[in-house]
Amino acid sequence: MAGGLLSYGIDVVDAYRQYGVYTARILKSARPADLPVLQPPKFELVINLKTARALGVKISDNLLSLADEVIE
């Protein structure tokens, strides 16, 4: 939204939910060393078409169809 062309990263809401589950397990006396290392469950692709147009970059329709969010 601030002008970036493309972003690919974790879904922050899902990550915080996962942190909450871990915290609850620790508060219920689970040892942190016994907890598994988790990978982020979901990644998001966001494409900013306004910035792409300003830079003269053509984004393929295939990539646009894969995006989780497209900023007009």
pLDDT means over runs of 10, the chain (72 residues): 85 90 93 88 91 93 94 90
**Sequence-ordered strand ranges (E) for the chain:** 6-10, 43-48, 69-71
pLDDT of residue 41: 79
pLDDT of residue 30: 93
What is the value of pTM for the model shown? 0.70
pLDDT of residue 1: 64
Pick from 12, 8, 14, 38: nearest CA to 25: 38
